Amino acid sequence: MLALKITKVGNSAGLLLPKEALAKLRVEQGDTVYLTETPDGFRITPYDPAFERQMGLARKLMKKHRKALRELAR
């Protein structure tokens, strides 16, 4: 578990992430991370859950209509 400190950034507040957290999240300064609410609390992730859901649906659709997409690619 890592303890994060809330600091003042202009008129807002920010969290400082230690190097270990940045390395595990595979992010660097300037990248976007997403804070999502879960039944157990909150989760910080570098992946946009809405985009992941849309890509899952797209993969399912592409698999189902593989032949038609192959013909359209010609």
The amino acid at 20: E
Residue 48 pLDDT > 80 = no
Q: What CATH code is carried by the domain that includes residue 38? A: 2.10.260
* Total tally of structural domains belonging to the chain: 1
Residues 16 and 4: their CA atoms lie apart, in Å, by 6
pLDDT the model gives residue 23: 92
Q: Which domain holds residue 46?
A: 5-73
pLDDT the model gives residue 46: 87
Residue 12 pLDDT > 90 = yes
pLDDT the model gives residue 45: 87
Residues recorded for the chain: 74
pLDDT the model gives residue 51: 79
